[in-house]
Structure 1
């Protein structure tokens, strides 16, 4: 059941990112269940996940629709995320252990390998930095923003192949700042990295 719900979620997410489903379009449980030939239970779970990610909302009749997110809201979201990620990068540069630095180096190398699942690697990269900051409160505060943005941040790599290349370079620059224990530079590089993501995501959702 879980795997089926995941598949529905990924299919609907792709349609939203590709523009096949636009803000305000219906995501009715019954229609979606019939399309996929499934019961409404996994469909309901997938729609709830889209809602948690900020990509779906309840319409006038309580049915799910694609969420309307204007450019200002998207910019506010990524601005908040970018500042928090930048703080994480600064702290990580100053606090990461040798083992954590090696893990970050390894995931950067992994992300440059042919055929790698870069969406997964990107999530691992940010997770290593977050844990390396050694600030539990900051990590918890980031949880909600990660849930709301990670689907879009991941989708950019599937839709725009060139974004993988630019992100690889940004990860490499961040790694160098962390290994140099340069907190200010790590902060700057992360802000640039998140700004680049915002530009691509804005294009994907028609902002």
Structure 2
């Protein structure tokens, strides 16, 4: 590949990463118009890598093209959230069960350590919340490693891309967040113990509670 091609790919990756972060954080809210000329200038890239970045975001379902030069950030409604959780439940319950099965054959230390971190997790202030979500990200990565199934992990990555936006809806609900800490601790303990049924059932309860809370916040 030519140096020009590599440079364009890097510019496209930078534009994608920036726009993805802004959409997931809510800086670019649903309905925001992403004009091609304006966004290329703002991000300091040419229009070709910008189009590549927007194409990836469209494939993720995070933006939709309204015209040849205008793209908008997609909305999230209750129906979208329910559908996301239908897929999430199927994937995460299976992943928890498989991770527990594999952990039962060795390597349970990772999940025991994560359970201990959930046990002392604090949710104080923005820094505490960020640290908690970072802990969840490490827990998700550990599950992916334990499952060792790239097809399942790839499907989960797609779900998590959308989940970041949805999770923000529950960010200001301290009671729900505190319950979520305990739920994650139980899942991690079950995986560490190699208890496949408890890992799957605890995941089911966690996702049910999360969905109920999120739907209440958008109603």
TM range (shorter): 0.7 to 0.9
Q: 1:124 aligns with which of 138, 160, 182?
A: 138
Contact 1:119 1:155 in 2 (8 A): no
What is the SS of the residue equivalent to 1:124?
helix
RMSD, matched Cα: 3.3
In structure 2, C-alpha distance between the alignment counterparts of 1:64 and 1:196, rounded to whole Å: 34
Distance change (3 Å), C-alpha of 1:180 and 1:129: same
Q: 2:191 aligns with which of 153, 178, 186?
A: 178
Contact 1:174 1:189 in 2 (8 A): yes
Distance change (3 Å), C-alpha of 1:170 and 1:49: farther
* 2:125 equivalent in structure 1: none
Contact 1:108 1:168 in 2 (8 A): no
How far residue 157 of structure 1 moved from its aligned partner, in angstroms, is: 5.7
Q: 2:158 aligns with which of 143, 147, 153?
A: 147
In structure 2, C-alpha distance between the alignment counterparts of 1:200 and 1:119, rounded to whole Å: 17
Aligned residues: 198
Contact 2:114 2:188 in 1 (8 A): no
Distance change (3 Å), C-alpha of 1:175 and 1:159: closer
Q: 1:59 aligns with which of 46, 66, 79?
A: 66
* 2:83 equivalent in structure 1: 76
Contact 2:91 2:156 in 1 (8 A): no
What is the SS of the residue equivalent to 1:64?
strand
What is the SS of the residue equivalent to 1:22?
coil
Q: Which has the larger radius of gyration?
A: 2
In structure 2, C-alpha distance between the alignment counterparts of 1:131 and 1:194, rounded to whole Å: 21
Instruction: Could you tell me which runs of 5 or more consecutive residues in structure 2 were left unpaired when the two chains were aligned.
Output: 1-10, 123-127
Instruction: Could you tell me which runs of 5 or more consecutive residues in structure 1 were left unpaired when the two chains were aligned.
Output: none
In structure 2, C-alpha distance between the alignment counterparts of 1:105 and 1:80, rounded to whole Å: 27
How far residue 56 of structure 1 moved from its aligned partner, in angstroms, is: 1.1
How far residue 5 of structure 1 moved from its aligned partner, in angstroms, is: 4.7
Q: 1:96 aligns with which of 103, 113, 120?
A: 103
Residue 188 in structure 1 maps to residue 201 in structure 2 = yes
